[in-house]
Amino acid sequence: MISVLSVTSECAPLVKTGGLADVTGALPRALASEGIQMRTLLPGYPAVMAALGDRTEVVGGFDNLFGGPARLIFGMAAGLEILTIDAPHLYDRPGGPYIGPAGGDWPDNPERFAALSWIAAHVAANGADGWRPQILHGHDWQAGFMTEYLGQMGEHDVRSLLTIHNIAFHGLVGPERIGALRLDPSRFHSGGYEYWGAVSALKAGLVGADILTTVSPRYAEELMTPEFGIGFDGVMRSRRENLTGILNGIDSEIWNPATDPLIKPYQTPRGKLANKAPLRAEFGLPEASGPLCIIVSRMTHQKGLDLVLEALPALLEHGGQLALLGSGERELELSFAAMAEREANVGVRIGYDEGLSHRMMAGGDAILVPSRFEPCGLTQLYGLRYGTLPLVGLTGGLADTVINASPAALARGVATGLQFSPVTAEALRNALTTLCRLHADQGIWAKMQRNAMAQPVGWDQSARAYAQLYERLVAS
């Protein structure tokens, strides 16, 4: 059995701000059937500490972990084996994992997540109460320094893998913090953790990890281009031979329309209809002839929601409706709220509600994911699972997971949704018009729904791919 320590800043259901948490929460369970023992290392946020059952101190004596004492605790939570860093000076505070109650980043975030990487390297080098991983599997910039610290500790047997969930976040800080972050100053160069005169935790992981993965095959290709590499395309090209794209999956037990306790369960497209009227009522929408489209998203420029505002008339003119759940950029929140005030067929909820997101997947006809870039995306996978046809931008994992309703795909009876390109308001407007036309043909629409619900969106194939990478690392 291969032992792996997953190093992450969030993990569902304990702490979540986005898809990263869903992945790190599902992966340990998916890998168990592949003979992989994965423990998850998390910061000791209040929610994590409260969720742990019986706790055991497995490493103590950290008198000064980036500013205060700390210890490493082992416990079980949500069926996961959790190692958590009990360091109140770093993690016992209100707000989210990265942002305080006032809305700004915690100023000591560089130290808070350097501590995560430092403890990961310590466990790899010294073990934790007799358990020692063969592989460190880090996620995003928050785990980027783990390979730097491994090298400083003289540990060369433990292998490393870094998964890029979103390369847009670099973990940057000024070089004056090199000493405070316990980094080797001789590594501050273009082949190390230096990035245009700054320290980059992500760069450290990109150049230091034995293997790099990202969350879809297309995104792996996109990262090697200036448009999507966001300053790291040269680094990614240099690591081409050690870069793999593995699609994310979803938890097919939690997201299962046949057993979902949050909806009126169903197994066929016809069964969805029982969820549509209640969803309309929840959003205050009237009956309508066109498709009920949903959006469950962060409201940001990346997610293309400004394009929806421009293109939405095409949906409404064809009898369609929109129900949106999300939060983010204030201007977008206000614009959608104003749209809902003007249009009877638009309903908006600002915020996030897990139960409502399930009800929207069950009651919606289509889910809009017009992202300008999307490493993998999970909401389109939820849509497929629930027969809620995705309309997506042709990018990243959206391109890899949705079969476009082209004439050829429709003729062969394999389409599962719609893709549009380029990712512009005009192209989205045309795609919405096509969506309404397809919805009007209930034979075609029902066939696409059946195709969508039959698509494999769980973790089986992806878990096998990760297990093969781990086996390759251990053998190297």
Residues annotated within the binding site for ADP-alpha-D-glucose are 16
CB-CB contact of 350 with 327 (8 Å): yes
Gap between the Cα atoms of 4 and 99, Å rounded: 29
Interior/surface letters 84-108, b for 16+ CB within 10 angstroms, e for the rest: bbbbebbbeeeebbbeeeeeeebeb
Q: What CA–CA distances, in Å, run from 423 to 7, 420, 427?
A: 34, 7, 7
Instruction: Give the H or E element holding residue 385.
Output: helix 379-385
Gap between the Cα atoms of 237 and 204, Å rounded: 16
Number of H-type helices and E-type strands within the chain: 19, 18
Gap between the Cα atoms of 85 and 128, Å rounded: 12
Provide the 3-class DSSP secondary structure of residue 373: coil
Q: Is the dihedral of CA 235, 236, 242, 248 positive or negative?
A: positive
HSE toward the beta carbon, residue 187, CA cutoff 13 A: 22
Q: Residues forming the annotated binding site?
A: 16
Q: What is the DSSP letter of 242?
A: G
User: Alpha helices, DSSP H only, in 8-102?
Assistant: 19-32, 46-51, 88-91
